[in-house]
Chain A
Amino acid sequence: MQDLLILGAGTSGTMMANHLKKQLPQGWQITIIDQEETHYYQPGFLFLPFDIYKSSQVKKSIKKFIPKGVKLINKKIEKIDKENDKVILKNGKEISYDILIIATGTQIAPDEVEGMLGDHWYKSIFDFYTYEGAKKLRNKLRKWKGGDLLVHITEMPIKCPVAPLEFAFLADAYFEEKGMRNKVNIKYVTPLSGAFTKPTATKELTHLLEKKNIEIVPDFAIEHVDGENKKIVDYGGDELSYDLLVTVPTNMGDSAIERSGFGDELNYVPTNKATLQSNVKENIFAIGDATNVPASKAGSVAHFEAEILTDNILRFINNEPLKEEFDGHANCFIETGHGKALLIDFNYTHEPVTGTFPFAGVGPLNLLKETHTNHWGKLAFRWIYWNLLITGKHIPFVSATMSEKGKNFKEVEELV
């Protein structure tokens, strides 16, 4: 019997267990380790603060999605002993593997910024990247009387880089519907030089922010939070006051990666961006938010990676060369409020542009344009997530590598 071990039963790890259960040859046992018992639908955390989703809609039992025959261990991981091909649990137990897949994701680290985590955390400073944070923020917003709201990104990279923009758009719509938009001043504060990281999308999104009366504060690199006086201060000495600070704290990989001694400065696993084999050892692979590949940290990216990683694991077992196929493909809906959304589709080399998706010239979804159809696509995605995506089923018409069909790349060339 040979052992394939997966660390993490989140989006990536669960998908890999489902793919591999169907495809691994006889004689392989799959084991998956996670300390949690709940599987969260993380895209739903965006909707919780605004009472769009109920908390019951974003969580299910981890067990439910682990296929029969895969062994699930509900324990904390201490570290990976790569020399001896084994994982050591917090309780001291050791688990050997022939192949390891690291899918330990990324977490917020509010303690990385002075003054963020302390007396004012979950009183006037909130995150919405955790179930707890999103719920506490919902309770705060239900009672909040208005004032200066900062939607803030601490440093890049972050999971789902469009989420803070969506939060700002949804906040605008939420306060408008409550009849108090005139009492709320929304600022979007980012360490980037603009609304997004890619030029064409930045242009569209800046226009949308302006239309919704959300001021953008670029190039703001936070140095500390002054919770007492309710302001954030950047390294250049600039200050911004707030009544409510909604921040995306520094994102970091799991501390078990740091304890294993091979993470980068943010505890991400050094990984080949085309094959998803780690640079740590040839029998160690990594997927999703846990890697350092220069792609977005997003569920769609993990989904596309899972198809390619499954192929490469089978090739590795058969002593065949790995496919250098992952192209950084990401596909993200951006909620813009009032029942509308944008859709972006891009990869390592192609930035998001306008066009139609998934069928060239037909749609029904529109790229980089605010439409109601896109919003329905985003809502339908929750069903797709629970029923197709994490169970390892293929999403119809959407390929793992990005398609260039139906996209207006010419516009980009003219801009450059």
Chain B
Amino acid sequence: MGKTYAGVSVNVNEEGYLTDLNQWTKEIATEMAAEEELELSDDHWKVFDYLQEQQRNEVSLSIRKVGKSGVVSIKEFYALFPKGPLKISSKLAGIPKPASCI
């Protein structure tokens, strides 16, 4: 599926997650954030950097792992992305929805 963010057409899956991290830009994240009614702060961008780095290293992600990363605590993570922080932050960071739930 294709979708247009910030005037650029990108590939997304049926849940709206980018299928290619290389297509991600800050402008895309900002527009996706608006869809989630979020205004992005420095801390949000730090979380995206961390998530993308984990994705590039093929490390599987969980809320617990983010909480232990030193980037944000679990409480802060929830404050940044209320209701489903990992799902929402992954989407905005342009990485696949984490399969931490089997």
Contacts and interface: CB of A to CB of B under 8 A. Distances in A.
Interface in A220-243: 221, 223, 235-236
A155 B84 contact: no
Nearest to B68: A265
Nearest to A298: B102
A221 to B, nearest CB: 7
Interface in B62-81: 62-65, 68, 74-75, 77-78
A161 B87 contact: no
B78 A236 contact: yes
B102 A197 contact: yes
Q: Chain B: interface residue count, which band?
A: 10 to 19
B102 A156 contact: yes
Nearest to A194: B101
A108 to B, nearest CB: 15
Nearest to B69: A265
B84 A296 contact: no
Interface residues of A, number: 20
Contacts of B60: 292, 294
A296 B65 CA distance: 19
A294 B99 contact: yes
Interface majority SS (helix, strand, loop, mixed), chain B: loop
Interface string A377-402: 00000000000000000000000000
A161 B99 CA distance: 14
Contacts of B64: 155, 265-266
B83 A219 contact: yes
A303 B77 CA distance: 38
5 contacts: A156-B62, A161-B101, A192-B101, A265-B62, A294-B99
List the 6 closest pairs (A to B, CB-CB), nearest first.
A235-B78, A197-B101, A156-B101, A296-B102, A265-B65, A236-B82
Interface of B: 14, 60, 62-65, 68, 74-75, 77-78, 82-84, 87, 99-102
Given A235-B75, A265-B64, A294-B102, 12 more contacts: A155-B63, A156-B101, A156-B102, A157-B100, A157-B101, A161-B101, A219-B83, A219-B84, A236-B78, A296-B102, A297-B102, A416-B14
